[in-house]
Amino acid sequence: MQANRIYNFNPGPAALPLAVLEEIQGSLLDYKGSGMSVMEMSHRSKEFDAILNDAIARTRRLLQLDERFHVIFVQGGASLQFSMIPMNFLADGRSADYVNTGTWATNAIQEARVLNKTVNVVASSEDRQFTYIPRDIVFNPDAVYVHLTSNNTIRGTQWAAFPDTQGVPIVADMSSDIMSRPFDAGRFGLIYAGAQKNIGPAGVCMVIIRDDLLKRVPANLPSMLKYTTYTSKNSLYNTPPSFAIYTVQLVLKWIEETVGGLGRMEALNRKKAEVVYRGIDGSGGFYRGTAEPASRSLMNLTFRLPSEELEQRFLQAALQAGLGGLKGHRSVGGCRASLYNAVPMEGVEALADFMQTFARKNG
């Protein structure tokens, strides 16, 4: 750990690779001899055009996207996508299937219903406080899409494998686990991810959209709410969040060139999660994981201590030890370690050692 920097387990905005921060620092005042920061240059300049197109190209390579897919960058975060998706794809008389696995999936369902769209909640884990991922789901063959949240930051659950939707396109909120592992993108009609958890800073949302869904976009939507506006203008219809996109480009470069791709990224993420889960499960009940074991997230590891008073002491002592961002979401309490791509193994090992020491002193 560098001087004055803590190990950052925040759930979002979250840790960025140190190498990326250092590259940004080195080019902040003068990007590649331009005499300007990326924050200052025109979004229509050749320098920014190269940044944007490199981010798109790296996304394509990392996810092995074929020519059917478009990669765009949209403002408004994942939350705007909750309404944009039904606005663009759900015409009158059509319906979509949604799987409710927690807060963000619940919000997506509510936003679609605000628009008076027909939503079928075909499965939910609300019966056990969203502590598991539903299985054996029966989807409607005439649904326009199936919406799911791939990783649930608040409850600490994740789809280990995506469901068989019998050919119905999957639309997925991957805000908190995109680029953390390989998957078959061909089954997805649309993928969206607020960058601030796993691939960049707050301020931009990556959207990957397949041609067959793009053809459903109606002409009578406001320009900024139509996906075709972004795909036809390469995300440059208006001024995009250029500095956020620049940071995403650098993170993708780091994943591709330093880590070595998504296969290696997944292997590292699994090792990190195993270290912490082993500490939780081996604590003799001092730490209690809140997600059911078969549904546990590799990104957001949620746990409780024997009392709220002990949890507060744990969080305070952890911060004093240089371990930050471990407080659980305000809606559920407890503790949460977010082990996104940029969280280094040495930070995870430091957390595991601290947890063991704290349990020994307070158990």
Q: Could you confirm whether 164 is annotated as catalytic? A: no
Nearest to 69 by CA among 244, 162, 188: 188
Strands 7-8 and 323-324 turn out to be: parallel
User: Is the backbone of residue 197 left (phi > 0), alpha (psi -120 to 50) or beta?
Assistant: alpha
DSSP result, 302-346: EEE-S-HHHHHHHHHHHHHTTEE--BPPTTT-SEEEE--TTS-HH
The residue annotated as part of the active site, out of 197, 226, 272, 327, is: 197
Q: CB neighbours of 355 closer than 8 A, spacing ≥ 6? A: 276, 279, 280, 283, 287
The residue annotated as part of the active site, out of 104, 117, 226, 272, is: 104
The residue annotated as part of the active site, out of 173, 177, 226, 327, is: 173
Q: Could you confirm whether 226 is annotated as catalytic? A: no
Cα 5 to Cα 150, 195, 305, 324, 326, distances in angstroms: 30, 22, 26, 10, 15
Distance CA 105, CA 107 (A): 5
Distance CA 152, CA 325 (A): 17
Residue with tokens 């909640």: 121
Nearest to 95 by CA among 146, 138, 148: 146
Number of neighbours of residue 154 by Cβ within 10 angstroms? 20
On whether the CB atoms of residues 144 and 96 are closer than 8 A, the answer is: yes
* Tokens (6 digits) for 164: 């068989």
Strands 170-173 and 146-149 turn out to be: parallel
Distance CA 12, CA 133 (A): 22
On whether the CB atoms of residues 352 and 276 are closer than 8 A, the answer is: yes
Q: Could you confirm whether 233 is annotated as catalytic? A: no
Residues labelled catalytic: 104, 173, 197
